Structure 1
Amino acid sequence: MVYKILAVGAGGFVGALLRYGLSEWIPTVDGFPWGILVINWSGCLFLGWLLTAAGKTLHISPTWTLALGTGLTGAFTTFSTFAVETFRLMDQGQWLTAILYILSSVIGGLLLAYFGVILAAVRGANEAERSDQ
C-alpha cells in the first residue's frame, strides 16, 4: 500500500510540474485557454492509450499504472482549471468563446481518449500477429 501511495505522489509531482510548464509555454490567444485545452486533450489521449495498453501489451505493473494514470495524468490534466477558465470567459462576456471551449474540451477529449484506446488496441493486435508468426 505504501508503494502505491508513493507512486501516485511521485507521478502527481511530475504531472503538476508538466502542467504548469506547458500552461506557461502555450499562450492564451484572444482569451481562449489553449494551454489547458492542449493539456487536457493530451491527457485524454495518453490515459486512453495507457489504460488499454498497460495490462495487454506493455505489461506495466499495477503500481506503475497508478503512478502514470492516477498520479501523473491526474495531476497533469485539470477539470477545475477547465471550469474556472470557462467561467472567466463567461464573466468577460465571451460567451461564444466559452461555448467553443466547452465543446472542444468535451468532444475533443472524448475523441482523443477513444483514439488512445484504438492506438493501443492496434498495437496490441500487431504484436499478437507478429508473435503468431
Structure 2
Amino acid sequence: MNIIIVFIFGILGGLSRFELSEHLPKIGGFPIATLLINLVGCYLFTFLIKNYLKATNAKARTILALGTGYIGTFTTFSSFMMDSDNLLVAHSYGLLALYVVLTVGGGLAMAALGMYHGRLAAAYPSAKVLEEEANEEREEAK
C-alpha cells in the first residue's frame, strides 16, 4: 500500500513541478523555476513533515505521501545540477554563482522559516479545540 501512496503522490508532485517549470519564465537564462520550486519544497517539507504533521499525530502514510511522494518529486536536485551545468557551459559564471548561493542559502533559510512556522502552527490550538473549550464554558455558565 505504501508503494501505491508514494506512486500516486509522486505523480502529483512531478506534474506540479512540470507545470510550474512550463509557466515560470527563464530570465536571461537564469533557471528561476527550479530555484523557486526547490525553495518552496524546502519550506513545505520542514513546515509539514518535520513539524506540523508530527505534532498533530498525523498518520505515517500521510507523512509518507506528502514527504516522500509529493514534495520528494516536486523538488529536484537533478534539475538544479542540470541548470548549473547549463550555466557553466554557457560561461555564465556570475549567474552560476548566484544560482548556487541562492539555492543553497535560500534553501537553508526557507527550511528554517518552515521549521519556525511549523512549530507555531503545531503549538496553536486548532479551531476544534477552541470550539470545544467554548462549549465547555457555555455548559459551566448554565
TM-score, reference length from structure 1: 0.91
**Partner in structure 1 of residue 47 of structure 2:** 49
Does 1:82 find its partner at 2:80? yes
2:98 corresponds to: 100
For these two proteins, the number of residue pairs brought into alignment is 128
- Correspondence for 2:21: 23
**Paired residue type of 2:87:** L
Alignment partner, residue 109 of structure 1: 107
For 1:34 and 1:73, the matched residues in 2 are separated by 18
Residue 123 in 1 paired to residue 109 in 2? no
Instruction: Tell me the amino acid that sits aligned with residue 9 of structure 1.
Output: F
Paired residue type of 1:47: F
1:63-74 equivalent positions in 2, closer than 5 A = 63-74=61-72
State the superposition RMSD in angstroms. 1.4
Which protein shows a greater Rg? 2
In the TM superposition, residue 126 of structure 1 has moved relative to its aligned partner by 2.2
Residue identity (%): 34
State the one-letter code of the partner of 2:54.
G
Inter-partner Cα distance in structure 1 for 2:58 and 2:11: 20
Post-superposition Cα deviations, 1:84-122, rounded to whole Å, max 9, x if no partner, equal 100100100000000000000001011101111110101
Amino acid at match of 1:104: L
Report the equivalent of 2:3: 5
Runs of 4+ displaced beyond 3 Å: none
Q: Distance in 1 between matches of 2:62 and 2:86?
A: 36
Is residue 2:40 matched to residue 1:38? no
Scaled by the length of structure 2, what TM-score is found?
A: 0.86
